[in-house]
Amino acid sequence: MSESLQIKKTERGLELHYFPQGPLDWLVGQLVDQDTFIIGRIFYFHKDELGKEALESLSENPEEIELPLIFPFATKEESYYKILGRRLGIKQNVYFEESVDQSIRNFRAARQVSVFKQISNLSKEDIYIGGNATTSIPKAEFKRIIKAIPTDYELKKYISARISGILSNYLEYCEDAALSYQHGIQGT
């Protein structure tokens, strides 16, 4: 299923705009079976956040619901946008300094990896991106974190390198995929 997600600024904070491509049957099923549902594999919302009118439309006639579906995503707190951790499936809250780009690619990296789940697995503190908070990750370093998540191509090269390392012990000719992988990650 293809979909489009956008984060939009409002006076109060940020909203997630969801433009599903295709039928909404999967969402109706999730709303009937559970209170929480996932959008884009990384954003978690409670069905009450969709609004009573939209919920009724979805359950009665999902083909006629107005798109995009709009969800509250972050609140404005001083110079930061505060995203509740539960919205990202993590325990820590996330704070984006208002000048930091709040695009989807800052949340979902290659291979549908949740950037903040990766950070959350390594730290128990609230996560600050940009700004002057004492534990803030500078914008440039945050971009480095996103780039550190391997692409499909890098992952395939890594798998080939590991397999060729084993096969080279048994086969007369085996491509040195480890060398190819090293050249690829070093950019040579």
Q: How high is the pLDDT of residue 181?
A: 64
Instruction: Name the amino acid, one letter, at 106.
Output: N
CB 59 within 8 A of CB 24: no
DSSP string covering 9-31, please? E-SSEEEEEEEE-S--HHHHHHH
pLDDT digits (tens, 9 = 90+) for 93-107: 999 999 999 899 999
Angle between helix axes 115-122 and 139-148 (nearest 10 degrees) is 100
Bigger pLDDT: 187 vs 13: 13
Per residue in 34-66, pLDDT (tens digit) is 888 888 889 999 888 876 666 666 767 767 777
C-alpha span between 154 and 89 (Å, rounded): 26
Amino acid letter at 175? E
